[in-house]
Structure 1
Amino acid sequence: MKFTDLNLPEQVLQGIAYTGFTECTPIQEKALPPALAGKDVAGQAQTGTGKTAAFLISLFTRLLKQEKVGTEHHPRALILAPTRELVVQIEKDAQQLGKHTGFTIQAIYGGVDYMKQKNALKEGVDIVIGTPGRLIDYLKQKVYSLKNIEALVIDEADRMFDMGFIADLRFILRRLPPFDERQNLMFSATLNQRVMELAYEFMNVPEKVAVTPEQMTAERVEQVIYHVSRKEKFPLLLGLLRKEGMERTMIFVNTKREAEFLFDRLNVNDFPARVISGDVEQRKRLRILEDFKSGKLPIMIATDVASRGLHIDGVSHVINYDLPQDAEDYVHRIGRTARAGAEGKAISLADEDGALYLEDIHEYIKERIPVEWAEDELFVHDYIRSKPRPKPAAKPHGRAPAPRHGKPAGKHTEKPAEKSAEKPAGEGEAGEKKRRRRPQKKKPAGEGQPQ
């Protein structure tokens, strides 16, 4: 199906042409007809198949065909996403697809531009794309209102549950107009029972559409796994980086500590890399992403904060340095490559711990990842070992002694008590009195009396 076959407004068709799209992807072909007809839709498709464009095209079409209600410039549409990176990606796609619609689009997320985002909402926007936390913050301050919302989109709803956002999500949904007075769209890589319960609670008889649920991973991703001991993982990683000639590579790890370890060792061995994790400041994260997208940065190390929603063209390889503990995250990670019809390769390193998660991953993706055995020459043992990072200073228990007579705290000004002055428990005046008060044992009658 081509987009020109659908009854789309001219402004939307111009945006589609601007992005270079011509034919619908499978999820778009299934989801767009009911959505354009005004029905609520819950869509499931593997990552990188065009879910974002599907709900944006539906949303723009509805807002263009439906007259605005009221005179106040409150948002007409709300798009909710679980992570800042996903919000930024959706906003970028929305600006491109909605280039000719004339709608004002604003991203709302934490970590940056608090007053700038607040002032933008006060001035009035048509479409708000945001994470629940900051949206609720502004909502409680009455910076904006949700009373005029005509369309709601929830992206990656399953991730909302995983990240503990469900209470915040319900808080927002209960402040929207009644579900039968707005259109509701929900798209995700997985629609489990919890997500569908939410759909039936806040949507108006949603039509469920799914694409290739029997195949969870993208077709053009070449998957391979190496079984390797923990101490040989880094030598093998270096060998793979040298052999494969990876131009743009994402390396996924499970912990911030492992990310820092790889960052230090890769950079000291002439493999420029940067880290994206949940505690990296937002502006820095965006800079790293831009450098990676532009090709300035060849390797990006990431935790699962970057496993969903990021559309980066030309990612040639994804490496699972740590296998994910959640099988769904494996699908999302390797979906960062082979996007938009391109080809890519996903390499996983299974050490003693990672091997424990393999069975769940195989069961979830409904296939077994092909195993390759690394030859000895693939391991690099003459690499430079980075210096270990200094451990943070241990915090002292309790409060430090207060300064006395103007001397700095920590300097002992009191003389140590002499040992002779110390008395064990029970000694001294109190102890003597206690002994004197100790009752005497009474002698039995007749004992000690003369016979």
Structure 2
Amino acid sequence: MALFLINRYTGDENSIENHRKRTAKNTLEELQKKAKERKIETEKIGNDIFTATNKLNDVKISDPENSEKKKKNKRKRKNSDSENVEENHFSNKNDFDKEKEKKETTELEEKPELKEDLNNNNVPTTPYDPISLFKQGIGNKVGSFTILGEEIDSSKVKVTRHLPRWITDRIIIDDIKSELQLLTDVEPKIDPVLIENLKELGIVQLFPVQQKVIPFILRDTRRGIGEQTFPPRDICVSAPTGSGKTMAFALPIVQALMQRVVPATRALVVSPTRELSAQIYKVFTALCRNTKLKCVLITGVKGNLQQEQRLLTSIGKNGVRYPPDIVVATPGRLVDHLSEEREFDLTKLRFLVIDEADRMMEQIKQRWLTLVEDNVYKNRTKPVPGSLTIRSVTQSRIPLQKLLFSATLSADPEKLQQLNLFQPRLFSAAPKALEIGVKTEDDNFIGKYTTPVGLEEYLIKCTPGEKPLAVLHLALDKSRVLCFAGSIETARRLTVLIQLYAEAAGKSDFTCTEFASHLPTTKRSKVLKDFSAGKINILVCSDAMARGLDVPSVDHVILYDVPPLIKTYIHRIGRTARAGASGTAYTLIRKQEIFHFKKMINDAGKSKVKMLNIPEDSVKELTPIYEQVLPSVAEKLKCLK
């Protein structure tokens, strides 16, 4: 018996012991839960993989007796593991790691097939491929890897172009060889004065493009050219080269302006080149004969800026300044005059014609369109493009109607947006078999290019050294041949070579001349006049003549170099087969260029270009003189410089 009774406080020790037991129990339950989830997940993935790949023959199938033994052993191991875990208290991280390794080892033992594959390094890769699993509809978790994102679809999705409705709902015009219409049959009626002027030009019928566009513009001007509450729709015309686009806008503009009382600049025509502007000016001048209308050309040809400004503000008999009714200009020269801010007034402008619209869109960076619109709306509010409102239709103003014309009118919404078109109407001319463009599922063409109906196109495969011989073979016995070279240097070298060959061959009546942008304007005008008169057999030129110029009676076009763009190709071959006539276009192409050229043509929806072979006898006949004059080309080029 102890002398002193000591009562110890054991509450803390009991609580610590209880806390340890609770912690061990919770940890055990958590481990068992994770082991069970991992086991279910592994079994699910294994079953999905084996089912999806249908490779059950590679897996060893156990018999029913072995399966029963496995289940009994599994239950025994599970009970023994649980008892061992309950007897031990996990006090550090190492015990947890050992338990985790033990569980994973147990799972491998439960699946001898997977263990055998792992030991033999024979794990199949195809069943674990995430892409194949997703294609088969299996979940987004493979093993310890989680696949992010939605189900992967390897099939290509076809993207369709969603273009404005006015492009898809265009007016299709018949080809140029369809039935023509007499001038007297047009409704609304054409003024008798204009009919007489047209007859003097030899025009008594209208082409299909003119039959549709001219009445459309005339109907918009029936109520005059002054202020209106409801503005007319803008017009876009995509028609083949030589189909009469210039007359399609010149004739209705002149007839509409014949009603004016006070002179003012009411029509502005903008074209990319001087030659094309001069050609348009010539048409307007012929139509304005026997009328009070005045047309002016400003391209920098007739003098300096001050001289052209005097043309824009001529003084009448009473000392009053009278501006021209119609102005034809190039964008660069137009910017010069608008920047001066003197007497060039466009506040009464009614028509803005943009010829070769696709190329003019590329020159919008020169700010010519912005300057024009700023001058037009200098004294009034600029209308906002979009839907009509009650307020907009109650405001009376002089409408500015834009007329776009091109053989390769772009369907790029971004470029068209820069033009600020108001409810435009698209006229598209060409037979369906010759339409070139992006093809949709319903076999309609959007943003198409068009070629003349009577045009035949050929490809001639040759090396760079054989190209001059091919040109000589095609041009020596012909007249009015137009040859396009890729650069000014190539055009000059080819011209000199042909001239030397004709001289050495004794063909004094055969003439070859160069036409390029570096030549003076007066010389270029004389060259065009001589070529039209048949005094020049072959005209070698750069891209200066590729757009818009109407050279009569061009029978053949030769493309010395392959054009890099389909638009360039369309404009170059369009110099022949104009106004319903027939013509032939030859493209000289190297072997390595054939694939890319045909791809460009096929992507545009065109596939009628045929291959043409030059007879070897003709090449052998031309070769001796060609080799004789070839060394003299360099010497003559030096003299020309």
CA contact (8 A) 2:480 2:531 kept: yes
Offset of 1:170 from its aligned partner?
3.1
| Alpha-carbon distance in 2 for matches of 1:57, 1:188 | 17
Q: Which of the numbers 240, 250, 255 marks the counterpart of 1:61?
A: 255
Conserved 8 A contact 1:43-1:186: yes
Task: Give the C-alpha shift of residue 56 in structure 1.
Answer: 0.4
- Over the aligned positions, Cα root-mean-square deviation in angstroms equals 2.4
Other structure's SS at 1:264 match = helix
Query: Judging changes above 3 Å, is the alpha-carbon distance between structure 1 residues 94 and 107 closer, same or farther for their aligned structure 2 residues?
Result: same
1:35 matched residue in structure 2:
217
Find the counterpart in structure 1 of residue 311 from structure 2. 120
Residue 10 of structure 1 deviates from its aligned partner by: 2.0
Name the % identity: 30
Q: CA deviation at 1:218?
A: 0.8
Q: What secondary structure, in the 3-state scheme, does the structure 2 residue paired with 1:87 have?
A: helix
Evaluate the alpha carbon distance shift between residue 232 and residue 34 of structure 1 in structure 2; reply closer, same or farther with a 3 A threshold: same
Cα distance between partner residues in 2 of 1:241 and 1:390: 22
Closer, same or farther in 2 for the Cα pair 1:391/1:353, shift >3 Å? farther
Instruction: Please give the alpha-carbon distance, in whole angstroms, between the structure 2 residues aligned to 1:199 and 1:55.
Output: 22
Q: Give distance in 2, aligned partners of 1:27 and 1:61.
A: 18
| Cα-to-partner distance string for 1:379-432 (whole Å, 9 max, x where unaligned) | 22122223315899xxxxxxxxxxxxxxxxxxxxxxxxxxxxxxxxxxxxxxxx
Runs (5+) with no aligned partner, structure 1: 393-451
Pick the structure with more helix per residue.
Answer: 2
Identify the residue that residue 267 of structure 1 maps to in structure 2.
499
SS in 2 for 1:319: strand
Task: Pick one of 438, 461, 465 that aligns with 1:227.
Answer: 461
Query: 1:247 aligned to 468, 479, 482, which one?
Result: 479
Q: Is the 8 A contact 1:255 1:303 kept in 2?
A: yes
Structure 1 residues 66-215: aligned runs within 5 Å: 67-68=260-261, 73-114=263-304, 115-123=306-314, 124-141=323-340, 142-162=342-362, 167-177=367-377, 178=382, 181-194=399-412, 197-198=415-416, 201-212=419-430, 214=432, 215=434
Higher relative contact order (CA 8 A, sep 6+): 1
Aligned to 2:39: none
Q: CA deviation at 1:4?
A: 1.4
Cα distance 1:195–1:282, how it changes in 2: closer, same or farther (>3 A)? farther
In the alignment, does 2:489 pair up with 1:309? no
* 1:357 lines up with 2:597 in the alignment: yes
Q: Does 1:24 align with 2:206?
A: yes
| 3-state SS of 1:27 partner | helix
Instruction: Give TM-score, length-normalised by structure 2.
Output: 0.57
Counterpart amino acid of residue 248 in structure 1 = R
Distance in 2 (alpha carbons) for counterparts of 1:210 and 1:81:
20
Could you report, residue by residue, the CA deviation over 1:183-238 in whole angstroms, capped at 9, with x for unpaired residues?
A: 32111112213478547843332211111274221111121111111111111211
Tell me if 1:326 matches 2:572: no
Residues 176 and 56 of structure 1, relative CA distance in 2, 3 Å threshold: same
Does the Cα contact within 8 Å between 1:45 and 1:213 map onto a contact in 2?
A: no
Counterpart of 1:161, as a letter, is M
Give the secondary structure class of the aligned counterpart of 1:388: helix
Q: Cα–Cα, structure 1 residues 365 and 56, in superposed 2: closer, same or farther, change >3 Å?
A: farther
Letter matched to residue 471 of structure 2: L
Contact 2:197 2:287 survives alignment (8 Å): yes
Q: 2:400, 2:364 → 1: CA distance?
A: 26
CA contact (8 A) 2:356 2:405 kept: yes
User: In the aligned structure 2, how far is the partner of 1:97 from the partner of 1:286?
Assistant: 22
Paired residues of 2:237 and 2:428 also in contact (CA < 8 A): yes
Aligned-partner Cα distance in 2 for 1:185–1:341: 24
Offset at 1:266?
Answer: 0.9
Question: Quick check: 1:341 aligned with 2:580?
Answer: yes
Find the structure with the greater CA-based Rg.
Answer: 2
Q: Which amino acid aligns with 1:207?
A: R
Q: Is the contact between residue 332 and residue 366 of structure 2 (CA under 8 Å) also seen in structure 1?
A: no
Unaligned runs of 5+ in 2: 1-180, 221-231, 315-322, 384-397, 435-449, 503-509
Cross-structure match for 2:615: 375
Q: 1:204 to 1:15 in 2, by over 3 A?
A: farther
The whole-number CA distance in structure 2 between the counterparts of 1:164 and 1:184 is 15
| Cα distance change of structure 1 residues 172 and 276 upon mapping to structure 2, 3 Å threshold | farther
Residue 448 (structure 1) aligns with: none
Asked if structure 2 preserves the Cα contact closer than 8 Å seen for 1:3 and 1:22, the reply is yes
The answer to whether the 8 Å contact 1:328/1:364 transfers is no
Cα pair 2:493 2:633 within 8 Å, conserved: no
Aligned to 2:196: 14
Specify whether residues 276 and 164 from structure 1 end up closer, same or farther in structure 2 by C-alpha distance, changes over 3 A only: farther
CA distance in structure 2 between the aligned counterparts of 1:330 and 1:360, rounded to whole angstroms: 10
Q: In structure 2, give the amino acid aligned to 1:372.
A: L
Equivalent residue of 1:269, what SS?
helix
Match of 1:4 in 2: 184
How many residues are paired up? 386
**2:277–2:328 CA contact under 8 A, matched in 1:** yes
3-state SS of the aligned residue for 1:193? coil
SS at 2:610 equivalent:
coil
CA distance in 1, matches of 2:592, 2:513: 25
> Match of 2:344, SS?
coil
Give the residue type in structure 1 aligned to 2:613. W
Amino acid of the structure 2 residue aligned with 1:151? F
Compared with structure 1, are the counterparts of its residues 84 and 358 closer, same or farther at alpha carbon in structure 2 (3 Å cutoff)? farther
Q: 2:633 corresponds to which letter in structure 1?
A: K
* CA pair 378-389 structure 1, distance change in 2 beyond 3 A: same
